[in-house]
Amino acid sequence: MEQLNERSYTGTTNPTSILSKVMCRVYAKMFLALIVTACTALYVVSNEAVLTTLLGSRGLFLGLIIAELAVVFIISGRIDKLRPATATLLFYLYALLNGVVLSSIFIIYELPSIAYTFFITAGVFGAMSIYGLITKNDMTKFGNYCIMALFGLIIASLVNIFMHSESLDWIISLVGVALFIGLTAWDTQKIKEASYNADPSQVGKLATIGALSLYLDFINLFLYLLRFFGKSRD
């Protein structure tokens, strides 16, 4: 997104009009990606053969995660070189892969609690995204703090894999919720600012990279909230 920001807007189109187009496409693509993820996860968990293969092979599961990371890096790092249609296709490929990986939550948690958490996530996400759109405060400094906190969260999560501390896990979950609530607002503001400086020809690419950012915020917020509201099947 930073690469898109560097280009100045030189056309005669109203920047507000571009913002409206970008945000409509961002939310539409993000919503469709969530549907792809949910449908894929439900298909995997309802197909015993696929589910058994997935859960029975750590190598396959790890390969899927690596593939997810590779797709994200390709979209984020090469957005200016990718054709809009290619970037969009890669985004939906990532959503599909994520659906396969996240299918395990349907085994761990009861479906009503997953649905309940999803709607809570949607409400919180919507409120913070709207805040990011309408606030006049510059959230750049706040966003930088969020990025630093994200690295700290990742390190703490890795440490807790070996410590198995319930108290640390609770703290990580709480921080994760707060962090991705903040990132939702910041990422929305970044998309808005990039839209004001974007050429009309960049709308498609900007919408894709923006949708990816908000999709990641939504999914991570959902997963951390699920730790609090999800009802285990055990």
Nearest to 33 by CA among 204, 223, 213, 201: 213
Block residue for tokens 């285990």: 232
Give the separation between CA 234 and CA 230, rounded to whole angstroms: 12
- DSSP 8-state code for residue 232: B
Task: Give the dihedral of Cα atoms 79, 200, 196, 6; nearest 10 deg.
Answer: 40
Distance of alpha carbon 12 from the chain centroid: 33
Q: Measured on CA atoms in the order 12, 14, 19, 20, is the torsion positive or negative?
A: negative
Taking a C-beta distance cutoff of 8 angstroms, is the pair 26, 214 a contact? yes
Low-confidence ranges of the chain (pLDDT < 50): 2-11
pLDDT of residue 8: 41
Supply the pTM of this predicted model. Answer: 0.89
Instruction: Locate 62 and state its tokens.
Output: 């790890």
Q: How many residues does the chain have?
A: 234
Plot region of 231 (φ>0 → left; ψ -120 to 50 → alpha; else → beta):
beta
Handedness of CA 98, 104, 106, 109 (dihedral sign): negative
At residue 34, the pLDDT reads 97
C-alpha torsion angle, residues 166, 172, 176, 182 (rounded to 10): 140
Residue 15: what pLDDT?
66
* Token pair 């920001």 in the structure block, residue: 5
List b or e across 5-17, with b for residues whose CB sees 16 or more CB atoms inside 10 angstroms.
eeeeeeeeeeeee
